[in-house]
Amino acid sequence: MIGEVVELDVGAVAHGGHCVARLDGQVVFVRHALPGERVLARVTEGEPGRSFLRAHVVEVLRASPQRVEPPCRYAGVCGGCDFQHVALPEQRRLKQTVVLEQLRRLGGLEREDLPNEVVVEPVPGDRDGLGWRTRVEFAVDGDGRPGLRRHRSHEVVPLDRCLIASRGVTEADVTGRSWPDADSIDVTETSHGEVVVTVLPAQAERERRIVEHVSAEELELDLALDARGFWQVHPGAAATFVEAVLQMLEPRPGERAVDLYSGVGLFACALAERVGPLGQVVAVESDRAAVGHARSNLAEHRQALVVEGRVDDLLGVPRHERARRRPRRAPGRRRRPARSPLLPHTCDLVVLDPPRIGAGAEVVREVARLGARAVAYVACDPAALARDVATFREFGYALAGLRCFDAFPMTHHVETVALLAPVSRPTAD
């Protein structure tokens, strides 16, 4: 079956950058297809009787009107872009479809539960979906040639240029050289135009400090971080997300805010400016280097506290993976970690910016117990967002606002900022 070319009628788009087709009743996830097309596709994973197959388009028999010629000659070869064959407005419509489908299927939301019409907005500064990626890690093959990996593979595809890479990353000319002693090459272009090239593993322990500037909502922020530390890869994304969060939360002077998974303090700095010296901001981050930068970035705000540690640990949530390694306890006797005394038991506002897997039900439960009047949830995975929204509903919080951003053009990825607010209960007569 693997390697066989099959004819498929392509159905709806699905989460993950592919569309769904069926072969003799078996689900096939097809990359580089579009809904309504008829294609020949080569099976890349799966066997008859398995729950699904994976396949790549090798020929289009009936094309969608939204299909375009990919601008990059490596499209469909390297694993970096899912949607170069799709017109840019249609890419955003497909992402909108995925977000809505995840919220309905995993979040249990009906159309009337959605706060407004959901659209995927372009990020400011984006014109044609190319030249935006300011952080690229190039893999290096056994011959020292840099490139990008194939989809779901460790194989390196050598290339001369990545079209979604920013101008500074491209002009570093990493792909024009041989790197015989490297495993990968990390290239970063900062908002100030500085370009940092890090050779791994040789320079892995010698992180270079950079500064990113964010101008948003009448705020001017300069944030220090490591060149290889986490930061949004689209140059307009950080400011866009800060503006969305502040508009949703509407912080007031004197309020207490909690920023979970805070990184180097992007949202914490913005909140500290808004709640003022009579307010309070508590930021929680587990990465030690990011914590150090966050404390430096928030140093001028005496009302801000940065707490190092995992969010689940500090909220008193057990780690299930840790519990599985230990001898089984009798039911009801599993030991919970102590909740950190540095975290408040109540607050007015929460920013929740978890990793791709989401916050998880137990963290969401503890966040709901804080009793915040508003929670801004920043998500890079619509499925994880939908699962956590469903849990928030169980604990009395409804989806009150939602914005989606095309921060990763030419790929299936979409960033969302959701507002969750307590459900008002009618008062007794």
Catalytic annotation, pick one of 72, 78, 347, 380 = 380
State the DSSP code for 290: H
Burial code (b: 16+ CB inside 10 Å, e: under 16) for 202-219 equals: ebeeeeeebebebebeee
Tokens found for residue 73:
């000659």
C-alpha 271/C-alpha 109 separation (Å) is 30
Q: List residues bridging with 12 in a β-sheet.
A: none
C-alpha 179/C-alpha 168 separation (Å) is 19
Q: CB–CB of 39/10 below 8 Å?
A: yes
Q: How far is CA 283 from the centre of its chain?
A: 19
Burial code (b: 16+ CB inside 10 Å, e: under 16) for 178-187 equals: ebeebebbbb
Q: If we measure between CA atoms, which residue out of 323, 325, 369 comes closest to residue 346?
A: 369
Beta strands across the sheet bearing 13-14: 5-9, 38-45, 52-62, 26-31, 18-23, 13-14
Beta strands across the sheet bearing 195-200: 156-158, 146-149, 135-140, 184-189, 195-200
Q: List residues bridging with 42 in a β-sheet.
A: 5, 56
Q: CB–CB of 130/163 below 8 Å?
A: yes
240 Ramachandran zone, left/alpha/beta (phi>0; psi -120 to 50): alpha
C-alpha 416/C-alpha 359 separation (Å) is 14
347 catalytic? Reply is no
C-alpha 131/C-alpha 164 separation (Å) is 4
The helix (H) or strand (E) run that includes residue 167 is: helix 167-171
Q: If we measure between CA atoms, which residue out of 17, 9, 8, 10 comes closest to residue 97?
A: 17
Active-site residue list: 380
